[in-house]
Amino acid sequence: MPKSSKVTQRELSNEHVTESVADLLALEAPMDYKSSQMSMNMAGGGPPPIGKPDISPDLEDGRPAWNSKLQYILAQVGFSVGLGNVWRFPYLCQKNGGGAYLVPYFILLILIGIPLFFLELAVGQRIRRGSIGVWNYVYPRLGGIGVSSLMVCGFVGLYYNVIIGWSIFYFFQSFQYPLPWSECPIRRNGSQAIVEPECEKSSATTYFWYRETLNITSTIADSGGLNWRMTLSLLAAWIIVCLAVIRGIQSSGKVMYFSSLFPYVVLFCFLVRGMFLKGAVDGIAHMFTPKLEIMLEPQVWREAATQVFFALGLGFGGVIAFSSYNKRDNNCHFDAVLVSVINFVTSILATLVVFAVLGFKANVMNEKCVVENAEKILGYLNSNVLSQDLIPPHVNFSHLTSSDYAEMYGVIKIVKEDSFAQLGLEPCLLEDELNKAVQGTGLAFIAFTEAMTHFPASPFWSVMFFFMLINLGLGSMIGTMTGITTPILDTFKIRKEVLTVGCCIVAFLCGLLFVQRSGNYFVAMFDDYSAGLPLTIVVILENVSVAWIYGTKRFMQDLEDMLGFRPYSVYFYLWKYVSPVCLLILIFATVVEMAISPPGYNAWVQDLVSYTLVCLVLFSLLSYSYCPRTINLKASFTQPCAVPNPYDSLASMEHKI
C-alpha cells in the first residue's frame, strides 16, 4: 500500500478510518501480498490487528456468500463427518479400551479439537480468503502454509475419490438378488462343478472384493494394467464431484442439504434395524465394556489425538475456505462448538450401528463354527476316534447351542489332552469373533457386506449402505475441492467453472494410478503416509503463526471486534501453550512410530489365498528389502506391520520396486 495514501496518513494521525468503498477503490492500488501494509508493519514491530478496516483484504460485496446459516453449517458438518466416522472411529474405540476410549477422545477434543477448529473458522471469516491468502495476510512469508494445505488436499482428494468410486460400483452391484457376494462362484470343469478354490479358502465377500472388484495383483510392483470397471467408477465419481462444486458454494451448498442429512437417515434406519438382529446387544455391550487399564497407555492418547485432528478436517484448508464466505459478524465460536459436538455424536451413532451389525455377524459366524465343529465330532464318534462317554448326556446334536458345544469342547480337551491338537477342533467363542478388529475397506467392503448377506431384504440394505458411503465421501470431497479451488481463485483471475473442470480432469488422470489392478496398495500407502504427518505440521504452523507471530492478545482483540464479545480467556492459554505442546508431542510420537514400524502394505496373494503384510525395511539409503508375513483372512482382517522373523512366514517372497 503506498505510504502517501489517505489510509496511511489517517493511521499515522490516529484518526478513525472511515473511507467508503468508493474511496478505497479510487485511491488504493491493487493489493499485493509482498508489498502489503501488513508486511511493512511486521518489519517495523509486528502486524496490526486483523480487525482494522485499513487492512481489510477483500470487499464484502465482491465475494460470494452462503444463502443461509443452515447451508453453511451443513457444509462444515458434511466436510468434517466422513468415512472416518464410520470405519475408523469404531475400530479405534474397540481397539483402545471400548467405552474407556471415549474419555481421552473427549478430553483431547476439548483441548486441541475445538480451539484449533475455532481458530481456523475465525481466521477464514475475518480475512475472507482461502488458505494461501489468509496466511499471506497474517505475514507474507507464511503463505507456504496455505500452499502446503493445498498440496495435501490434492493428495488426499486423489485417493479419497477412489473410495467413492468403489462405493459407486458396490451400489450398482447391490441391485441384485441374491447379492453377488453372498455365495462363491461355481467353476465348470467338464461335467464337474466345483467351487472357486480361491473363494472357498477365504470367503465369498473377500473373494468378491479382491478378485471381482479389484482383481488385485499380488505385489505393488506388478501393476496388472487398468481395471476398466474401477476406471469407469472413478470417472463417475469425479463427474459427480465436478457437478457438485462447479459453481462454487452456489452449487455445493445446495448439494449439502442432501449429502449431509441423508447419511443420518441411513444410520438411524440401520440402528433401528440392527437392534432387532440377533447378537446386536452382544456387539454393543462388547463395544462399550470399558477396559480402563488400556486407557493409560500412551498409544491410546496418540491415536485419540490423531482421530480428533482428522475428524474435524483441520489443516486441509476446507474449513478456512468455507468460513471465508461468511459475514464478518457471524458467531464462529458457536459454529465451532456445534460442528464439533455434531461430529462427536455422529461418531458415537456410527459406532452403535457398526457394532450392532458386527455383533450380529459374530453370532452368525459363531453358530457356523459350532455347526462345522459338531460335524467333526460326529465324524470322530462314528469312526471311534472319540468315545460316546465324552459327550454330556443332555447334549443334542440336532439343536446344539454354543454353551453345549463349549461344555463338550472342554471335556474333550481335558480327556484327549495329548492328541487334542490333531482333532482340529476350534473353541468357537463369541468373544473371539467380537475381538476381530476391522477398519477401513475391510470393514465396509468385507465385514459389513458379509453381515448384510444375512439380512432379510439384503439388497435394500446394501443399496442404502453404499449410497450413504457415497454421500459421506461426497461431503468430504466438496470440502477438499473447495480447499483447493478457493485459494487459487483468490490469487488468480480464473473462471471457477474452468478451474473446477480442469482440476477434476487432472485429478482423474492422476487417479488412474489407483485403479490399476495394484491400485489398492497405492491407496493404502497414500492413506498411511501422504497426509498424517504433513497435516500435523501444517496445523502446528497455523497455531504458532496466530499465537506467537501475530500475537494471541491481538487475535483475541480482533475476535472481540468481530464477534461483539470477548471469547473465554481459556482460549488464550489453549492457543498459546496447550495446543502447540500437544501437537509437538503428537508429531514426536508419529515420527517415533514411523521409525519403529517400517512402511509397508497389505498384499493379497492369490496363490496362497491369504493376506500378506509386506514390510519395507531400510538397510541403506540405496537398498530396500521386503519381509512378508502371511495371515489367514479367516483369523484376522488386520495385523500390525512389524518386521517378522523370516522363518515365521509361510512363504518366502522378495519384492523389488
Q: Which residues are annotated as a binding site for Na(+)?
A: 78, 81, 85, 343, 472, 476
Using the Cα atoms of residue 459, residue 465, residue 468 and residue 472 in order, give the sign of their dihedral: negative
**Grid cell locating 44:** 517495523
CB proximity list for 383: less than 8 A, separation 6 or greater: none
Contact between 296 and 94 under an 8 Å Cβ cutoff? The reply is no
Q: β-pairing, 624-631 with 186-189?
A: unpaired
At residue 627, the 3 state secondary structure works out as strand
**What gap in Å lies between CA 565 and CA 570, rounded to an integer?**
14
At residue 630, the 3 state secondary structure works out as strand
Within 13 Å of residue 218, how many CA atoms lie on the same side as its CB?
A: 13
Contact between 396 and 353 under an 8 Å Cβ cutoff? The reply is no
Within 13 Å of residue 23, how many CA atoms lie on the same side as its CB?
A: 9
**What gap in Å lies between CA 524 and CA 514, rounded to an integer?**
10
480-505 in b/e form (b: 16+ CB < 10 A) is bbbbbbbbebbbeeeebeebbeebbe
Using the Cα atoms of residue 35, residue 39, residue 45 and residue 50 in order, give the sign of their dihedral: positive
Q: Angle at CA 303, nearest 5°, toward 135 and 289? A: 140
**Grid cell locating 195:** 467351487
Q: Which of 336, 341, 347, 324 is nearest to 115 (CA)?
A: 336
Contact between 124 and 322 under an 8 Å Cβ cutoff? The reply is yes
**What gap in Å lies between CA 324 and CA 313, rounded to an integer?**
16
**Grid cell locating 360:** 450380529
**Residue 154, beta-bridge partner list:** none
| Binding positions | 78, 81, 85, 343, 472, 476
At residue 417, the 3 state secondary structure works out as coil
Report CA 110 to chain centroid distance, whole Å.
Answer: 20
Q: Which of 589, 596, 651, 590 is nearest to 618 (CA)?
A: 596
Q: Can you give the three-state secondary structure of 43-77, one letter per residue?
A: HCCCCCCCCCHHHCCCCHHHCCCCCCHHHHHHHHH
Distances in Å between the alpha carbon of 618 and those of 387, 490, 641?
56, 43, 14
Within 13 Å of residue 71, how many CA atoms lie on the same side as its CB?
A: 14
**Grid cell locating 409:** 469342547
